[in-house]
Amino acid sequence: MNAFSYFSRVSGQAISVDHIFFALTALSAVIAGMVFLLIAVFSVRYRAGSVAPRGRLPKELEIGWTVATFFLFLFIFWWAAANQLGALEHPRQNLDIHVVAKQWIWKTQQPNGIREINEIHAPVDTPVRLVLTSQDVIHSMFLPALRIKQDVLPGRTTYLWFTARKPGIYHLLCAEFCGTEHSRMTGRLVLMSKSDFARWSASQQPSETMAAQGEKLFRSLGCSGCHGANSTVHAPDLSGVYGRAVHLSDGRVVTADEAYLRDSILLPGRDVVAGYKPEMPSFAGIVKEDELVRLLAYLKSLQDKPVINQRGEIK
């Protein structure tokens, strides 16, 4: 495996970011060079007593260079913006790796339950999505070899996507001053070939998948008492809820994504489902961040099971 390197480029995104960076640097160098050259030429040409013509320049010259630089800047804006937006497009099938930041470590967990501290193992040539949240203050996940960075916020879920091309060990850094030991909040991104990754996963022997751990929490926290299949309490059925459109009592329709499910657990009174009373107590302060991601993993796992509606029809 490669040594740590700041200058490795291990994804298509990293290469396009570098192209923009080097093009902007080259353009700045050319313009700075032109300015210095003109200073030198003009100070000789228009020195005191020289007979060089000093009349007005034609107007077209000024219009010309203004328009030319305007289009140049428009092009740079389009190029960089298209690249940034392109990095937000992602395939629906990702390997989801959950990351919880806390002062001053990164806790990560793979879908199959493997937990790591300050380390992310991931396969190359596979779309990976990092699902990020913080347990305390604002952190920032920075993976320089992939040229990607994303703030990690308490009480919110943010994402990073990448498809790496080159196996190796790369830096994983916190890029937001988050307290006295911020500078030591570092780790390793370990990119492996698909077969090495499969071997590594097998050798870790996770006790349970994240979804299975979430299901246990779903019971122990008492969620199943109301949301379970045999419950007599009138609470929304959660099978297949992830990714579905949910009609709320105030007429809004929202998609049950991670953020919605998370808010429903911590702020249940805010987005009440149409036809239900706001009876659920808040679990803020009761469930920890890493428990929340496991609960969400469980709720997501329910989407694969058939959904039975009130008339007993299987959808």
Footprint of ligand CUA on 138-167 (CB under 6 A): 139
Alpha-helical (H) ranges within 46-128 are: 59-86
Q: How far apart are CB 149 and ligand CUA at their closest, in Å?
A: 12
Of 186 and 303, which has the nearer Cβ to ligand CUA? 186
Applying CB under 6 A, among 16, 133, 160, 176 the residue interacting with ligand CUA is 176
Of 129 and 182, which has the nearer Cβ to ligand CUA? 182
Q: How far apart are CB 204 and ligand CUA at their closest, in Å?
A: 25
Q: How far apart are CB 118 and ligand CUA at their closest, in Å?
A: 11
CA geometry: angle at 254 spanning 130 and 110, to 5°?
A: 20
User: With b meaning 16 or more CB within 10 Å and e meaning fewer, what string describes 88-112?
Assistant: eeeeeebebbbbbbbbbbbbbbbbb
Residue 9 in contact with ligand CUA, rule: CB under 6 A:
no
Q: Is the dihedral of CA 304, 308, 313, 315 positive or negative?
A: negative
φ/ψ of 51, rounded to 5, equals -100, 10
Residue 97 in contact with ligand CUA, rule: CB under 6 A:
no
Residue 178 in contact with ligand CUA, rule: CB under 6 A:
yes
Q: How far apart are CB 113 and ligand CUA at their closest, in Å?
A: 25
Residue from 227, 259, 228 nearest 242 by CA: 259
CA–CA gap between residue 174 and residue 112 (Å, rounded): 25
Q: How far apart are CB 242 and ligand CUA at their closest, in Å?
A: 29
Residue 174 in contact with ligand CUA, rule: CB under 6 A:
yes
Tell how far CA 232 is from the center of its chain: 39
Largest CA distance in the chain: 100
Of 99 and 185, which has the nearer Cβ to ligand CUA? 185
Token output for 176: 């937001």
DSSP letter for 29, please.
H
Applying CB under 6 A, among 185, 210, 280, 299 the residue interacting with ligand CUA is 185
Residue 300 in contact with ligand CUA, rule: CB under 6 A:
no
φ/ψ of 16, rounded to 5, equals -70, -35
Phi-psi region of 232 (alpha: psi -120 to 50; beta: other; left: phi over 0): alpha
CB atoms within 10 A of CB 156: 15
Per CB under 6 A, which region of 109-117, 177-185, 216-224, 273-281 contacts ligand CUA? 177-185
Of 176 and 290, which has the nearer Cβ to ligand CUA? 176
On whether the CB atoms of residues 200 and 169 are closer than 8 A, the answer is no
Please report, as a single letter, which amino acid is at residue 314.
Answer: I
Per CB under 6 A, which region of 36-44, 91-99, 121-129, 178-186 contacts ligand CUA? 178-186
Size of the site for ligand CUA (CB under 6 A): 9
Per CB under 6 A, which region of 170-178, 206-214, 218-226, 261-269 contacts ligand CUA? 170-178
Residues that bind ligand CUA (CB under 6 A): 101, 104, 139, 174, 176-178, 182, 185
